[in-house]
Chain A
Amino acid sequence: KVTWRIFKKSIENQQVFICRLNEACVCVCVCVCVCFSTCQGHSFPFEDRGRVVPRTTGRWADPPDCELLAFGLRLLPIRSTFLQQSVQAVFRSLATLEKTVEKCHIELDADRNRLTFTLHCKHGLLKTHNLSFQDSESLQAVFDKDSSTNVLKAQPRVLTDTVLNFPPSLDEVTVTVSDERVWFRNHVDQEAEPSKAMLTELCLSSDEFDHFEVRARSSVTFCLKELRGLLVFAESTGLPVSMYFDKPGSPVVLSVTDSVLDGNFVLATLSDESGVQTSDRTGTPAPPADDFMNDELESYLIAMDTSMAAGPSVPAPLAPGRVVSPTATPDPWSPAHSEPGEDLTEEEEEPGRPPNKKFRSLFFGSVYPPGSPLGGHTPSSQKVLASDSEDDG
């Protein structure tokens, strides 16, 4: 099921982006967003940045763009997902791709639910991959990084050297900022025995950052794995990484930007108190802030819902004191519409069914241009993560 969802969502993105291409030969940015949302009163916004297909003209993508696409797919925080792998298989070896592929043709046949990648290789060789998919609706992430209180921008090397100090198995990292310094710490699960865990702390001075803007001291905890993924990409492109965040519970946006590429990774952060977080958010309905719309670029966030939990079959005992989002106060991450069986919805709306895992990951989706038919699913003035059904077979 999980695999299906992932794939469907990614297809969805493709769909949007391909349809758009047919209408106008413009530069297109496809971004992948990842969201962790959680149960037990924790919310982890977590942002993964964009896998991007820039400079795609018409329906042709240059190999570097394919690389980006493949890179994006690789960033998905999912393991052993068969269908996703089938997409990745197309772009498996980036080195080979770069050497042999001259162009890539991407075509979506909506009637037959088929996505076709045709790689035009040297010597007239054609490699065609037909992937089937099921139609689905998509999730939508809306965020406004420009209103963030704290902005840090650094060369990827600075951050890579930083995360190297943490063990590969570490799940979450806590970033604390003050006026002049930034601390990275490993986050220790409260359930874990504190006397067993090694604490690692790294202190960076503001000098190490290209841009250091801290308007409010704060401390956010988010997923380290996705940060690592982003850094791999940022290092390969040599682009500085910007980090936008506010307070615990609200998402951190990691962003990589240059003239043709705008990737934003939205990651959930661990909240101190989920109740507070919910009410905070309701007061600030924001229109889908689409920075790209004013641009020549049209951008889409890929909608992906990837649950890392094993599924609802292993329900955990109900945690006392778990705060459930009141239905009257829509959480920005709550689904706009849902169907029975949709995991995320259950978690956020059914107090009796706590999620079986602390984290869920959500690849969520496209920021549709206003008026787009798919955009109609989202309440107009709410920051909404529009989820969708999983009732496909």
Chain B
Amino acid sequence: MAVERLEEGLTFNPSPILLQDQSQVRAGGVVTTISKLTKTCVLRLTPDNLYFVLSGKVDNGGVGMWCELSQAKFFDEFQLEGVSAEANEICLELAPDNLSRALKTAQNAKTVKIKLTKKHCPCLTIAAELPTMSSASRVVTHDIPVDVIPKRLWNDFKEPSMPDFDVSIYMPPLKIMKNVVDRMKNLSNFLVIEANMNGEMNLKIETDLVSVATHFRDLGNPPWAGGDGSQAGANSQRDPEAMVQARVDVRKLQQFLMGQQFNPSKAMCNIVQNTIIHLILLYEDVSLQYFIPAVA
């Protein structure tokens, strides 16, 4: 595949990046999922991975997101030159909805190129070569405006540390969970999610008029042993039957469940008592973490 140069260097970064993508459908699915979770997010590009990040708002009651894509699984060709050799990264803020729409039109494309360009403003340009009825090919380009994030702010977009959770459990099938949450949403604005180390998880709502609970059993608990001795230690001291709970905004949980387009190979939920729930979805080449703060 040909390597193209960036037409004009960005002021912040004179060097080009170039991406070439042939797995546009899958990539489009990931981005569509993200676009359902947030209106804007940060795209962080490193030599090995792409990250979609929504961060820094959990403290204020907002949700956090960390989505990691392995560059090599999505792109035939990937070229990145960041600010410097030590900080070989690029951080952009963009609307995932735009990206999702652009990738959707590129679904049938022969090739898709993604590159950073300087047009009327810094843009992520998606150029797709579409098949036509004639011999000539047809090229569609989408210029998605982006905000380039200066290096001094990059610290806000580092991978969030794993919370020191009280319980960790595999989630039930997301479709079933979505059905339950959708119905509970009609009854209350807040949902209590609780789980123990014995593979049991409950979704509950409590209002003046009604209390509803859905129980899941035999879900299993992920073995977090490994090098993470502190968490394993904390968990082992806990009574496996004891429930750990967090009360969350039901819409935020629903939004998360709504966006899921594919079945993950693993779906896990970590709960810090009355503080936060941390949802992890693992796909073949993508991982998605989602943080929902608890409310009192």
Binding site for B on A (CB under 8 A): 155, 157-158, 161, 164-165, 167, 194-205, 207-208
Q: Which residue of A is nearest B121, CB measured?
A: A195
On chain B, the residues within 8 Å of A165 by CB distance are 105, 140
B142-A207 in contact (CB<8A): no
On chain B, the residues within 8 Å of A203 by CB distance are 138-141
- What secondary structure prevails in chain B residues at the interface with A? mixed
- Among A158, A161, A200, A208, which residue has its beta carbon within 8 angstroms of that of B141? A200
On chain B, the residues within 8 Å of A197 by CB distance are 145
With contacts A161-B130, A195-B121 taken as known, whether A202 is within 8 angstroms of B140 at the C-beta atoms is yes
Interface string of B123-137 (1 = CB under 8 A from A): 100000010111110
A-B CB pair tally, cutoff 8 Å: 60
With contacts A165-B105, A208-B134 taken as known, whether A198 is within 8 angstroms of B98 at the C-beta atoms is yes
B120 contacts the other chain (Cβ, under 8 Å)?
yes
On chain A, the residues within 8 Å of B144 by CB distance are 198
Binding site for A on B (CB under 8 A): 95, 98, 101-102, 105, 119-121, 123, 130, 132-136, 138-145
On chain B, the residues within 8 Å of A158 by CB distance are 132-133
Q: In the complex, what's the smallest C-beta–C-beta distance from B22 to chain A, in angstroms? A: 19
With contacts A165-B105, A167-B101, A195-B121 taken as known, whether A208 is within 8 angstroms of B140 at the C-beta atoms is no
On chain B, the residues within 8 Å of A205 by CB distance are 134, 136, 138
Q: Which residue of B is nearest A208, CB measured?
A: B134
Q: In the complex, what's the smallest C-beta–C-beta distance from A294 to chain B, in angstroms? A: 35
A208-B120 in contact (CB<8A): no
Q: In the complex, what's the smallest C-beta–C-beta distance from A174 to chain B, in angstroms? A: 14
- Listed from nearest, the 8 A-B pairs whose CB atoms lie closest are A205-B136, A199-B143, A198-B98, A165-B105, A207-B134, A202-B140, A207-B136, A195-B121
Extra contacts, 15 of them, besides A194-B121, A199-B143, A200-B105 (Cβ < 8 A), are A158-B133, A195-B145, A198-B98, A198-B142, A198-B145, A200-B140, A200-B141, A201-B143, A202-B140, A202-B141, A203-B141, A205-B134, A207-B135, A208-B136, A208-B138
With contacts A158-B133, A196-B145 taken as known, whether A202 is within 8 angstroms of B98 at the C-beta atoms is no
A205 to B98, CA, bound (A): 26
Q: In the complex, what's the smallest C-beta–C-beta distance from A105 to chain B, in angstroms? A: 42
Q: Which residue of A is nearest B120, CB measured?
A: A194
Q: Which of A198, A202, A205 has the most CB of B within 10 A?
A: A198
On chain A, the residues within 8 Å of B133 by CB distance are 155, 157-158, 208
Q: In the complex, what's the smallest C-beta–C-beta distance from A307 to chain B, in angstroms? A: 31
Q: Which residue of A is nearest B141, CB measured?
A: A201
- Among A167, A196, A208, which residue has its beta carbon within 8 angstroms of that of B132? A208
Q: In the complex, what's the smallest C-beta–C-beta distance from B252 to chain A, in angstroms? A: 25
Q: Which residue of B is nearest A184, CB measured?
A: B140
B142-A200 in contact (CB<8A): yes
Q: Which residue of A is nearest B105, CB measured?
A: A165
Q: In the complex, what's the smallest C-beta–C-beta distance from B39 to chain A, in angstroms? A: 11
B134-A198 in contact (CB<8A): no
Q: In the complex, what's the smallest C-beta–C-beta distance from A234 to chain B, in angstroms? A: 15
On chain A, the residues within 8 Å of B132 by CB distance are 158, 161, 208
B134-A194 in contact (CB<8A): no
Q: In the complex, what's the smallest C-beta–C-beta distance from A164 to chain B, in angstroms? A: 7
On chain B, the residues within 8 Å of A195 by CB distance are 120-121, 145
List 22 interface pairs A-B (beta carbons < 8 Å), by A numbering: A157-B133, A161-B130, A165-B105, A165-B140, A167-B101, A194-B120, A194-B145, A195-B120, A196-B145, A198-B143, A200-B105, A200-B140, A200-B141, A201-B140, A201-B141, A201-B142, A202-B138, A203-B140, A204-B138, A205-B138, A207-B134, A208-B133
A35 to B119, CA, bound (A): 34
On chain A, the residues within 8 Å of B139 by CB distance are 202-203
Q: In the complex, what's the smallest C-beta–C-beta distance from B128 to chain A, in angstroms? A: 9
Q: Which residue of B is nearest A200, CB measured?
A: B142
Q: Which of B133, B140, B142, B144 has the most CB of A within 10 A?
A: B140
A205 to B135, CA, bound (A): 10
With contacts A167-B101, A205-B134, A205-B136 taken as known, whether A199 is within 8 angstroms of B121 at the C-beta atoms is no
Q: Which residue of A is nearest B147, CB measured?
A: A195
A66 to B72, CA, bound (A): 57
Q: In the complex, what's the smallest C-beta–C-beta distance from B83 to chain A, in angstroms? A: 22
On chain A, the residues within 8 Å of B142 by CB distance are 198-201
A169 to B126, CA, bound (A): 20
